[in-house]
Structure 1
């Protein structure tokens, strides 16, 4: 009894002790948050004046303050945020939380796309546009093609809803390069026609996107003529404590214009030496609805159905509904990181993306030859599949030849197919392509030679193409073999070495120069069963030497001048050499084994002025000259200018080194920060391009985008961010349309003379995001508020009408 009484007397003391212990313990911890979004910030360095004591925040933004005394000055530093200094006493008074603001001086930003190693952006003479995960989450794009378009600096063409072909400085498709976590996505069948491979990259899984404008062949080799789009996906986060760290996100989005339903989940497990990151996204898109106000020729007035074993043309109950454009998509990403010490790091990434079948909308709206109906009953792509396994080993440490070395090995698998059937026909023609792509990159970083920083390395890429063709009678279900799109078993491979140097001549003057040599081999054996080719195989060996030289100069601390000259190249691939397909109504492209690389010579001048961190103006002028351009032109096949293809007599064409191209333009940007809440940003791009045939005939360049730009008025505080913005495109008159586009009258509006042209357009839009709690956020956007009916230049599909987008996300 006495013992129990003593324990009762101890309870208040014990409670007070535990309360004091908890208060003391939590007073030693700080949570660092983004002042704009309230999201915890990891990897924030916390240190005192002489840096005798330091720590770093974990994946939850938490850091240990027990190392510091109560009144000593403590600094919080992160590469993307303004430096903040305070004391532990002040931190305790503010609830043990510190809020950091994003840095307004982005010239200090670190980029990786120019050398594959971290470099300060202010030292780079090329224009680079960066999009981080916070800006991506705010714009909330449906696909990575939309992500690029939302940047305001990249023009995106769409032939169907399941697509998006970026255009940069007058170049597109196989003349710009896609890279995911340092691995090139471009393969041996990337074509000159519009591509949709960029949608295989999940926007939810992207940590950062860097868009490099102008040739990038020194680092990336063939195809990087117009620019390079580097997608860096999320990395697993290690734990900074002895316990297992777990975090994740759940997101849902709905959009009215195409009845989108998207669900996403990701989660991270981390310990001190290893971590795992998993991401999964499911998209369901319905048929896209166009706007109310615009050309009537854009309406989908009728479409084809199969009824009683007959193709029937039926009226569309809602002509603004683009039947059939909907599709589904899944994206999966799994990453593992193992870091046994500060020297070695091992990363494994597994990526998978797959779509459902989806219609090529621009082929479904082609009129029949008599103009009374539609030419195709069916025209759709089979599932687009992409898998990549990427294993990377990174070593840091002083060495005679390097301070860092990175070995990247990757295997990719691509699958795509095409299926088309003419109206009233019973034969469904199909081709299926698969590509196995292997690559090895060895990259070195050497910082030992005074103010010279060398980046050098080697690359080997091997592609093998599998292709087959078939025709199926839809009534009898009989299947027969037909000509494949590409020579089955064809290979494309390249071996290259490069060296790139950054030399800081003065604190305000940096030179960047590089050189690369690439050797490319193409081997293809042609099947003469269906077409009597005048050759049995293609065995082509080509080499290319490319280089760059530029500087970044700060005559004053707030004024930057950049000048850069560079060359780029594109070696012929299997698509150029061995393709058989109907390029446009009444034309067929046939193989041509007599091809050489095309070369680009580029010059770029950039200016940037910062007015007291209130206003930043930036501009760039560029000029590119393309020689031996690989273009599609009329051709004689075995002396014949017309052959029968899929039952139709067609004009013969082939890819040839038959043109030169001149592309030039201007890019402008502006950022104004009125106060801590209000800001204004704007972009404008003007591009002009001309192709000149060997016979001296000029034609406007197909991939020179119209003048386009945007203006954003942004208001934000700690919890709410809003953006009212205008997107606009200039007109492309009939005389400025390329010859290939002038023949696609079904895609364009009619001018006063009855000729096809692409009208100018604008949209007024609203976007917002609200941080309800530290864990829960919601977004509301209203795009195309005036319900404009417009079509992006060269696009088959009409853009969305008024579109309400609702999203919600939860962090756990």
Structure 2
């Protein structure tokens, strides 16, 4: 299989790099007629044909065509459409478009702190998925949209969930933003988290992935990167109009998905309103017929207990308050009522111990009971206030995130028993009626101010500040009435604030620079219950401050080649989870808090090259990410009981109720190096090929100077695809998603039942996407996944990928 994977990758690379450029071309640049700046996303079509394209971020375009003269039509939001004739092959054309007063029937793209307002570019490495690209994506979860994107890896612990890895890190090292405001709760933990599972992929306008630290823009947690979720917001329209989409999706032989989704928008010259929502049901999770069934003991390759449901709703409105200002309101609600965490109720790779009488950890366990995210934002934005204040944006928000868990043990003497000998396995079991609940809620209040000032024609200042207040509610109890100390002290408070300034400068026609600095302040109040309680700590508070900065440049080496580089720093202040979590972790550890922690810090350096010709586009980044003062869980050497009291294991009355004491310390440093590549080639007007490839290498240096592989670093991975559009209404996309074998695993991974002690095998997953617009208002999307029914697994996931399965989506638009 790995030989096949290598073969695919080399064939793809060579086909992209050496394909002959033979057809005549129409190409050039489109600019604003007033300020002569390039215009991106202009749609250019050849009248009388199905051929068309869009301008890139630099306003450039190309169309292969050899019969002249031709008539071109140009159209884009905010500009008057144009028709003009071209009489010969020419790739140096320059067209100008006149701005209009109103934008037409388009979705709003929210301002982005990372974008240079002069060049509309950014030195930060980034990947984006837009609403228009959903036709070529699986939409089971929001994280599915980012599978195999350049610089991104997806790990799935259970159905309906998934964690995004950016430059080898996930969990608390990656900052999630919803509509530009932090979504991470103050108790986000070090490992993978399930929070992105509460986001409906069908209600996302755009996902922006920032690769590398973005603390200079958004503060704490952005150590290795971030993801911004832009919800759907419609702009104004010259005429009042009602539009919408109705969507139904069904899956066969994979997860039994049944989805009903709707979107409705009403637009007027002074206001827009949007309402959308989904009801989704997943009946099971079926893996390949070639999977190793012992991994799923006491179940089989069709996990019937992997059923779950999902519901969501979003409302948004944009109101014109004057000719230069508007008010935008967004309210989103997403919930998974209950979904089993499968690595806690199956054996996984613990079967490699080759022991009899093994049993799963729990009869039932869920970390989504429910998983709920309710996000609300209100933004007022005005422009042309004065020369010093070209635009001002004031935004407020309230986010509630519920991280509720429940667990049930096996009934007494009724647990299943695994044996190496198949005939001796006992698959029968009963689950206890006693249910334990672990309920944690984050209540975040946000406020931010973003100001843009024109210092000169070639220099802009973006500056402002933000503050986030999070109050944690936490409880633990059972359905029998027993009450325990909560996971986190109830009423814990976490406040993040910061002031930032960034200068964007057009130094010359070829060189643009960005300089940024941010001062961040963090305050944590931990209301421990007192030294006489089981937690044995008195209340305390802590504060942290951090200065972060960045310098980036974009340099045009030629009309086709751009050089990019970025030097930046990131940090993560100790959060409620780091500072207060006490109790049993896993099966053999007892966590003790450390009130003397310092912020983690990272330094990042990356360089990139972008090349774009009439047919060929490629981008490659190389990066080095270094962690300082990494917060790591270490063993203290003490043996304690279930309450944290020191015990002698030799004299303990219950030898199974003793634990190794662990605590968090700023003990380690870590280095991550990697390459991120994406490229595409327009073979002819109907065929396009593309490839992504991401490789990350990580090494952890311990406090004593020894080193080991960094934990959970993804394998080399990517996709190769062909986009074929023989007619305007039909598109066909065969795709190969691949990953190389990953044998360099950390000591923690060796002890993780989700990962084989031999590492993770490589794989190639062949997929087929077909989109057909049957009528003007009806379209059909078909997905055939895992065509070879291969048994494969993403590294560190608790599930194999689904076996051969099929998904059909029918859409009606009006």
TM-score by length of 2: 0.81
| Contact persistence 2:137–2:144 (CA under 8 A) | no
The counterpart of 1:690, out of the listed 681, 691, 699, is: 699
Deviation at 1:652, TM superposition (A): 2.1
Q: Who is 1:93 aligned against?
A: none
What is the match of residue 748 of structure 2?
740
Secondary structure of residue in 2 paired with 1:577: helix
Instruction: Please list the CA deviations of residues 613-656 of structure 1 after superposition, one character each: whole Å capped at 9, or x if unmatched.
Output: 21122211000110110122213577738999999433222222
Q: Does 1:376 align with 2:377?
A: no
Trace 1:189-588 onto structure 2 (pairs within 5 A): 189-241=187-239, 244-256=240-252, 257-298=254-295, 300-302=296-298, 316=299, 319-366=300-347, 371-381=357-367, 382-424=369-411, 426=432, 427-472=434-479, 478-528=480-530, 532-533=534-535, 535-580=537-582, 582-588=584-590
Match of 2:660 in 1: 651
Q: CA deviation at 1:589?
A: 2.5
Partner of 2:152: 154
Of 727, 730, 737, 1:727 maps to 737
Partner of 2:132: 134
5 Å-filtered alignment, 1:31-46, equals: none
Compute the displacement of 1:581 (Å).
Answer: 5.1
Distance in 2 of aligned mates of 1:121 and 1:804: 43
- Contact persistence 1:189–1:573 (CA under 8 A): yes
Cα shift at 1:348? 0.9
Match of 1:709 in 2: 718
Q: Which residue of 1 aligns with 2:679?
A: 670
**Contact 1:663 1:689 (8 Å CA) reproduced:** yes
Partner of 1:136, secondary structure, is helix
1:604, CA displacement in angstroms? 0.2
Q: Which of the residues 784, 802, 805 maps onto 1:803?
A: 805
1:479 aligns to what SS in structure 2? coil
Shift of 1:599: 0.4
2:138–2:144 Cα contact (<8 Å) kept: no
Cα distance in 1 for partners of 2:282, 2:150 equals 24
Q: Is the 8 A contact 1:413 1:437 kept in 2?
A: yes
- Return the index of the structure with the highest Cα Rg: 1
1:615 corresponds to: 616
Output the CA distance in 1 between the equivalents of 2:679 and 2:332. 37
Please tell me whether the aligned partners of residues 624 and 662 of structure 1 are also in contact (alpha carbons under 8 angstroms): yes
Contact 1:114 1:216 in 2 (8 A): no
SS of equivalent to 1:423: coil
Q: 1:301: how far off? A: 3.7
Q: Deviations over 1:32-55 (max 9, x none)?
A: 99979x9xxxxx99xxxxxxxxxx
Which position in structure 2 is the counterpart of 1:16?
A: none
Offset at 1:452? Answer: 0.7
What is the CA–CA distance in structure 1 between the aligned matches of 2:506 and 2:594, rounded to whole Å? 47
**CA–CA separation in structure 2 for the residues paired with 1:646 and 1:330:** 46
Counterpart in 1 of 2:670? Answer: 661
In the TM superposition, residue 760 of structure 1 has moved relative to its aligned partner by 1.1
Using the TM superposition, give the Cα deviation of residue 422 of structure 1 relative to its aligned residue in structure 2, in angstroms.
Answer: 2.9
Q: Which residue in the other structure is 1:92 paired with? A: none
- Asked if the contact 1:238–1:245 (Cα under 8 Å) also holds between the matched residues in 2, the reply is no
Contact persistence 2:150–2:676 (CA under 8 A) = no
The secondary structure found in structure 2 opposite 1:556 is: coil
Encode CA deviations 1:651-700: one digit per residue, 9 max, x unaligned: 22222211111111111111100111101000000001111121223222
CA deviation profile, 1:67-98 (whole Å, cap 9, x unmatched): xxxxxx996332799986249xxxxxxxxxxx
Counterpart-to-counterpart distance in 2, 1:320 and 1:565: 47
| Equivalent in the alignment of 1:70 | none
Matches of 1:407 and 1:647, distance apart in 2: 56
Residue by residue over 1:520-543, the C-alpha shift from the partner in whole angstroms, topping out at 9 and shown as x without a partner, is 000011124885445312311100
Whole-angstrom CA distance in 2 between matches of 1:261 and 1:121: 44
SS at match of 1:506: coil
How many Å separate the matches in 1 of 2:79 and 2:721?
22
Unaligned 5+ segments in structure 2 are: 1-41, 49-53, 56-70, 86-107, 413-431
CA deviations on 1:760-797 (whole Å, 9 max, x unpaired) are 11111111101112211101110110011122111112
Q: Is the partner of 2:769 in helix, strand or coil?
A: strand
Q: SS where residue 204 of structure 1 aligns? A: helix
What is the alpha-carbon distance in structure 2 between the residues aligned to residue 83 and residue 759 of structure 1? 53
Whole-Å Cα distance in 2 between the matches of residues 756 and 297 of structure 1? 17
Match of 1:49?
none
In structure 2, C-alpha distance between the alignment counterparts of 1:642 and 1:572, rounded to whole Å = 32
Q: Distance in 2 between matches of 1:795 and 1:231?
A: 24
Number of residue pairs aligned between Structure 1 and Structure 2: 695
Distance change in 2, residues 1:144/1:178 (3 Å):
same
**Cα offset for 1:421?**
2.9
CA contact (8 A) 2:388 2:454 kept: no
- Cα separation, partners in 2 of 1:516 and 1:33, compared to 1, 3 Å: closer
For residues 227-263 of structure 1, give each alpha carbon's deviation from its aligned partner in whole angstroms, at most 9, with x where no partner exists: 111111111342312xx31110001111120000111
Given that 1:375 and 1:423 are in contact with CA atoms closer than 8 Å, whether structure 2 keeps it comes out as no
Task: Measure the CA separation in 1 of the matches of 2:572 and 2:628.
Answer: 11
Q: Can you give the 5+ residue segments of structure 1 that lack an aligned partner in the other structure?
A: 1-31, 39-43, 46-72, 88-109, 303-315, 473-477, 750-754
TM-fit CA distance, 1:141:
1.4
Post-superposition offset of 1:805: 0.9
In 2, the alpha carbon distance for the partners of 1:550 and 1:498 equals: 16
Moved over 6 A (4+): 32-36, 79-83, 110-113, 641-647
3-state SS, counterpart of residue 324 of structure 1: helix
Deviations 1:489-519 (A, max 9, x none): 0000012100011100011110011000000
Aligned to 2:100: none
Is the alpha carbon distance of 1:670 and 1:614 closer, same or farther for their aligned partners in structure 2, counting shifts above 3 Å? same
C-alpha separation in 1, matches of 2:407 and 2:595: 27
Of 161, 168, 171, 1:170 maps to 168
Q: Which residue of 2 aligns with 1:103?
A: none
Distance, in Å, in 2 between the alignment partners of 1:261 and 1:646 is 49
Structure 1 residues 642, 581: CA separation in 2 closer, same or farther (over 3 Å shift)?
farther
Q: Distance in 2 between matches of 1:231 and 1:362?
A: 28
Q: Distance in 1 between matches of 2:401 and 2:525?
A: 19
Tell me which residue corresponds to 2:646.
640
Counterpart in the other structure of 2:776: 774
Looking at structure 1, the residues matched to 78 and 620 of structure 2 have their Cα atoms a distance apart, in angstroms, of 23
- Aligned residue for 2:147, secondary structure, equals helix
Between the aligned partners of 1:663 and 1:561, the Cα distance in structure 2 is: 22
Secondary structure of 2:507's aligned partner = strand
Check whether the contact 1:122–1:552 (CA below 8 A) recurs between aligned residues: no
TM-score of the superposed pair, with normalisation by structure 1: 0.81
Please give the secondary structure, in 2, of the residue aligned with 1:199: helix
Residues 75-84 or 268-277, more deviating? 75-84
CA contact (8 A) 1:139 1:150 kept: no
